[in-house]
Structure 1
Amino acid sequence: MGADHNRPAPSAPPGVRRILVATVVPLVVVTVVAALLLWPRDSSGVDQGTDPPRYHGTVTRVLTEACPPTPETPEGGSAAGPCGTVTVKVADGPDAGQEVQTPVPSGPGAPTVAVGDEIILVKLTDPADPTASSYNIAEHQRGKPLVWLVLLFAAAIVAFGRWRGLAALAGLAASFAILLAFVLPGISAGGSPLLIAIVGAALIMFVVLYLTHGVTAQTSVAVLGTLGSLVLTGVLGTLATAATHLTGYGSEDATTLSMFQADVDLHGLLLAGIIIGSLGVLDDVTVTQAATVTELAHANPGLSRLQLYRAATRVGRAHIASTVNTIVLAYAGASLPLLLLLTADSRSVTQILTSEFLAQEIVRSAVATLGLIAAVPLTTALAALVTTAGRAAARTADGDGDGGAGDEPSRTPEGSRPVPDRAEALRALTAPRAGNTSSATSSGWPDPDRSTDATW
């Protein structure tokens, strides 16, 4: 968003750093303690003993033929194909190295196979005769393409972002580790999805932001803005789901989950999804706002706290205007098949929009957007406060005094322009123009009685 993140942010004075440390460190400690208390102790998981064994194989031959007629089809017609046999060379398991015959996959979502395809076989045993078994093709092997895609993804990030890109990859790995080791097992074990999601999101936020952007005052401001917006998002989500009487059973996935794990709180799971989904966009906005304030203050040290806030908020408005559309489209894209199914619904538009499924998507988008909007003024105000407090402390430490008429303006390293006094800058900008533009005061600013065109 116009900020040079490769240049380190100016160091905050010791007083400002102490205040930030005293604010952030207790929050980190509370988050870690809450994670330890909520950490899932039951590692039994779901019983996988009834799943049929799966083996790798390579297709060596495909033979298709006309499907035989079935009584269900009208006038003795053939069943929907394709029909035939597939010869597969088994790569592992008890029949490794042997070729086995399987039927051609058919039905909705069945994989289309060709000679040379690497596939996954499922071995089925006849319940009446345990010694009799057969193989069926379940799906294609996707390991190698996924590995190459992930390597390309990582290489592109590191090539463009260099060390910052490498830190971003480490943050991404940490996010997945927290989700897979804490959030998902904790919810599966019957814990409160909302509480686990807030603690997990806070853990991800602390690790990712400090790892990616460094331990700086600017990052601490983004952390505080993100945490405050997350809490607000959780509160708004709770109120919105209660007002709309959402149960969490608005999707087929949620209903299926309730059949396998009846102790999972689906209403809380809906709120947890809102929290986790909002985090990725929130940290983008808060980091951008904190960096914007820092860069504006660096480019024009004469800006007041209010001027910094107003200028950075204008950037935030432009960012929010595009991000709102991103949130809505992200939710719509994830639910596109069901949205298409609803277009064939015979009910009225009002009934469809107020149905459980669409109502929860509307609540997701609206709550996430409200939290996102709140993040801009909150983070911008914190960043402006920290930046101007640091500037005042730095000038006092350098002996600038109270900025009165007898004080010399503070100067930057040799060869640089002196840091102007704000009152002199305003007088220079608002003074009436005169014909002579060659004179300037000893402080480096134009004479108020002369034009400012030449100097600027």
Structure 2
Amino acid sequence: MHQHIRRSGNSHPDPQALRRARRVLTALIVPVLVLIIIGIVTLYSPNPLKGAKQQWAQTGVNRISGQVTGLDGKKCLIEGLKMPKGAADPTNGLPETQPLVCVKVLDGQWKDHIVPVRVPEESKPAIRIGTAVWMLYDTEAMATGTPFLFTDIKRGNALAIMGLLYVIIVVAVAGRRGFLALLGLAASTLVIVFFMLPALMSGKPPMLVTLAGVGAIMFLSVYLAHGITIRTTTALLGTLLGLVVTVLLAYAGTRAAGLTGASDEDALILGTQLPALVLPSLFMCGIVVAGLGALNDVTITQASAVWELDEADPQMPRRKLFSRAMRIGRDHIASTVYTLAFAYVGTALPTLILAMLSQRPFLELLTVSQIAEEIVRTLVASIGLVLAIPATTVVGTFLVKFVRASSGLNEKPRASSRVDTVESASVATKIEDEGILRAGKESSHAH
């Protein structure tokens, strides 16, 4: 008898109610998507440099590859290794801070020759026998005996192996969803490389570029990784609200703190090579993109929390559902805030050490441009993340209760329900049986 009993609160929303919820979400999300598409089309800059690309190397300088065969350049010369004709003694006048290594040239006119190459002292610990390197060959420096200049280590193979290992592990553990998440990552990278960077290089409005770019990234990554559902759309709405707040705060914080984005050498080079590029806007865009992953993580989790709590107790009032979901959100906020802070501190360790060497007061140290940038970056991203959680919770609570109200699942079970009918029948049968037994006993006593 009991196996037929069902509680009406555990039944699923009917398809019509789900269709109503989808229509509400469509009405909210489609205008946002249209605005993002219009922004991308309007701000797209196919040729930001306009033919003014910087030459990778000056005239007469060729880029070649090689492989290290010895770590003592002077010893290689003493042993009579092959040297290009016309080369002078490479040790003549060479400072000790520029050590020599022997490198076998792998391409170009000096292919298979073993030549001395100057390596900066800071790069020497990473150089071992067999290391593949990039070099510049300067024809005008032949008379000095050191026409081959080290530029960098070839890391293509190592990065490819690590990337392949990452893809294999993600797909093996997460399956189809992990593969779709990787597709979302690839699509997001294309948005950054082919839209955001060229638009910023062309001097387009930074706030609009950032909003359009990160909006497109969120649509691609969320829907590819998690599918187009009511839950993911709820998370997407919360993420977009958090992004708007983050962009506005990044713009206001950059201006209020007087940050120019020109605190390192790379930024200064960009400022001279690309006059249209506004360095503060580049810094602001970097703040938003850096906090994007954590923001999406908390909104997806929060949307799922709202729906799961409602599944567990469909009769829960909207205010109580919001309160319980926010308990989960507060725990997530606590963990994610210091995650962002530690991530930024980790990237700024060299800057922090240099600042400590200056022997300046601690509070004054925090206002140094390089450190102030990291502080503003952490605070802005954290504020946007914190505000996105209640926003997602509000949207999720409204939608889940809207679906239940539309399907009539929020009504409490009535007395005529299946459960009450069965229980009433059982009680009536028990009373009737007890009455028959009592009547039988009285009849036997009478006889």
Query: SS at 1:80's partner residue?
Result: coil
Deviation, structure 1 residue 395: 2.5
Query: How far apart are 1:442 and its partner, in Å?
Result: 5.2
For residues 9-39 of structure 1, the C-alpha deviation after alignment (integer angstroms, 9 at most, x for no partner) is: 9976111110101111111111011101101
- Equivalent AA in structure 2 for residue 54 of structure 1: R
- Going from structure 1 to structure 2, the CA distance change for 1:137 and 1:10 (only over 3 Å counts) comes to farther
Distance 1:403 1:123, change over 3 A: same
Percent identity (aligned): 33
Give the distance between the partners of 2:300 and 2:101, measured in 1 at CA. 57
CA drift at 1:185: 1.5
Partner of 1:362: 375
Picking from 143, 149, 169, the partner of 1:136 is 149
Structure 2 partner of 1:259 = 272
SS in 2 for 1:368: helix
Structure 1 residue 117 displacement after superposition:
2.3
Deviation string, structure 1 residues 260-293 (Cα, Å, up to 9, x no partner): 2232111222221121122111111110000111
Offset at residue 138 of structure 1 (A) = 2.4
What is the correspondence of 1:222-261 to structure 2 with a 5 Å cutoff? 222-261=235-274
Q: Does the CA-based 8 Å contact 1:119-1:140 persist in structure 2? A: yes
| Deviation digits for residues 117-136 of structure 1 (CA, Å, limit 9, x no counterpart) | 2222211121799xx98223
Aligned partner of 1:27 in structure 2 is: 32
What residue number does 1:92 align with? 107
Q: Deviations over 1:224-282 (max 9, x none)?
A: 11111111112222222232232323334322321222321112222211211221111
Contact 2:200 2:209 in 1 (8 A): yes
Q: What corresponds to 2:160 in structure 1?
A: 147
Contact kept in structure 2, 1:57 and 1:121, CA below 8 Å = yes
The superposition leaves residues 88-108 of structure 1 with CA deviations (integer Å, 9 ceiling, x where unpaired) of 1x2223333x21312352433
Residues 300, 102 of structure 1: alpha-carbon distance in 2 compared, 3 angstrom cutoff? same
Structure-2 separation of matches of 1:379 and 1:10: 24
Aligned residue for 2:123, secondary structure, equals coil
**Secondary structure of 1:53's match?**
strand
Question: 1:330 Cα shift?
Answer: 1.3
Residues in 2 aligned to 1:115 and 1:366: alpha-carbon distance in whole angstroms: 45
Q: Distance in 2 between matches of 1:111 and 1:251?
A: 24
Higher RCO (C-alpha under 8 Å, 6+ residues apart): 2
Aligned length: 391
CA RMSD after TM alignment = 3.0
User: Could you list the per-position Cα deviations for residues 186-207 of structure 1 after superposition, in whole angstroms to 9, with x for gaps in the alignment?
Assistant: 1112222332111110000001
Normalization by structure 2: what TM-score? 0.80
The residue type paired with residue 92 of structure 1 is D
Measured at CA, do residues 404 and 140 of structure 1 come closer, stay the same or move farther in structure 2, by a change above 3 Å? closer
Structure 1 unaligned blocks of 5 or more: 1-8, 67-77, 410-417, 419-423, 425-439, 445-456
Question: Is 1:159 aligned with 2:172?
Answer: yes
Q: Which has the larger radius of gyration?
A: 2
C-alpha distance in 1 between matches for 2:416 and 2:330:
39
TM-score (norm 1): 0.78
Larger mean CA deviation between 355-364 and 148-157 belongs to 355-364
Q: 2:133 aligns with which of 116, 119, 122?
A: 119
Asked if structure 2 preserves the Cα contact closer than 8 Å seen for 1:55 and 1:120, the reply is yes
| CA distance 1:370–1:301, change in 2 (3 Å) | same
Amino acid at match of 1:120: W
Q: Which has the higher helix share?
A: 2
1:391 aligns with 404
Aligned equivalent of 1:204: 217
